[in-house]
Each structure stands twice: as structure tokens, then as C-alpha cells.
Amino acid sequence: EDQVTQSPEALRLQEGESSSLNCSYTVSGLRGLFWYRQDPGKGPEFLFTLYSAGEEKEKERLKATLTKKESFLHITAPKPEDSATYLCAVKGYGGATNKLIFGTGTLLAVQP
Amino acid sequence: DTGVSQDPRHKITKRGQNVTFRCDPISEHNRLYWYRQTLGQGPEFLTYFQNEAQLEKSRLLSDRFSAERPKGSFSTLEIQRTEQGDSAMYLCASSAAVFFGQAYEQYFGPGTRLTVT
């Protein structure tokens, strides 16, 4: 069964203190790994898609990387506006499914 | 294009009542998805449409839930005889078609927050 585990559950950083969020996955053939940002009371906002091990994507202070078993979301010199829940999701080849399997997210708080 | 929209944004209903939510996807997307999210959890898949055809349903979607996409554009999700356990955020997402086996990202709407009292 496809599964996604995110760690840590919560992370508190000082402004400018870089860190990484982890997403471990088990999937029967990876069709895509997705990172989303979710603010309280809102829908998830798409950040990145990664398709194969070794792939990297960057956007402003965020960089996503992918291996065969996990993905990392690196946050460089974060600002308070980066505070949000970061969700990781996978889509596999198993069966005819088109659904995303999500982790429970990492709640990031960046203090000024 | 303003992205995926959902209506209403909030709904409070009494147990046993029926509720209906609407989703308007990004106009050029032919795939539409419904998810449910409870506090502290990631979104859980409910159902998926390609154009007007409902191609996949989760075991979470009991017989009290029904979804339609009559003309392959907007979609509705109806919950009959609501229960307190139905309280959640209901999210709609849309995507373009799969290309050479790769999965295109899904874009989410703002969600409908359902509270069953």
C-alpha cells in the first residue's frame, strides 16, 4: 500500500535559520512526488513536482530534492511569511488510481 | 483564469440534513478530484472524474455521498443525512491529463468547511 510519512510534525525556526523537512514514501512505482504549502483555513498551494531520483527544483527560498525513498524540502534563510504547513504527496502506478496520497504535513513556524 | 473555485466556503448544518457543494475547475483541465481533510491530517481522496465520467471512488465515499460532473465542467458533491463525523474541509482539485505516464500536478480550490451540529 502506498504510504507517505513526513517529519518532523512541527518545526520552529528563527528567521534566517535554514533547515530541511523530510518526506519518506513507499509506492509501487513513482509517477510523481508533489510538495504543497497550506495556510490555515485554505486549500493546498502547489509548489513542486519531482519525477525521478536525483531531480531538484527551486523556488525562492525553497529547494526540493528526491531520492528513491525520500524527498527533502530545504528552506534557506526562512522569513516569517514562510510559516505554513508543508504537505508531501505521491502518485503511484499501482492499479488504475489517479489519487494523491498525502502525508500529515510539517507545521513550520518562523519567528522574527 | 482565477483557479479552482468552490462554493460555499463554509456550511453549518444540523445532523440528518442534506448538503451540496459546488466546484468549478480550471477551465482547460479535464480531470477533477474531491478530497476530504480533517484537522491535523493530509487530504484524503474521495473521487475522481475525467470529463463527465466518474472513474474512481474511495471506500471513504459511503452511499450517503454522491458526486456528479454532468457536462464535464463544474462538479457537485452531495452528502445525504449528514452525520457529525462528516465535519471536515472538502477540497476540490483539477489537473490536466497525464502525459506519457507522468502525473501532472493537481491545483486545489479554497475548500468548503462543513460543520455538522
- With beta carbons less than 8 A apart as the criterion, state whether A97 and A10 touch: no
Residue given cell 519567528 in the structure block: A111
Cell (9 digits) for A46: 502547489
pLDDT at B69: 96
* Positive or negative torsion for Cα B92, B97, B100, B104: negative
Contact B103 A91 (CB under 8 A): yes
CA distance A93 to chain B (A): 9
| Per-residue confidence in pLDDT tens, chain A, 112 aa | 889 999 999 999 999 999 999 999 998 888 899 999 999 999 999 999 999 999 999 999 999 999 999 999 999 999 999 999 999 999 988 655 678 999 999 999 999 9
- Chain A residues closer than 8 Å to B102 by CB: 31-32, 51
- Between these two residues, B29 and B82, which has the higher pLDDT value? B82
pLDDT tens digit string along B89-103?
999 999 987 666 566
Core vs surface per residue B9-48: b (16+ CB within 10 A) or e = eebebeeeeebebebbbbeebebbbbbbbeeeebbbbbbb
Out of B31, B40, B110, name the one closest to residue A43 (CB).
Answer: B110
Q: Average the pLDDT over B52-65 and give the result.
A: 90
Instruction: Count Cβ atoms below 10 Å from residue A78 Cβ, excluding itself.
Output: 22
Nearest-angstrom CA–CA distance, A7 and B36:
22
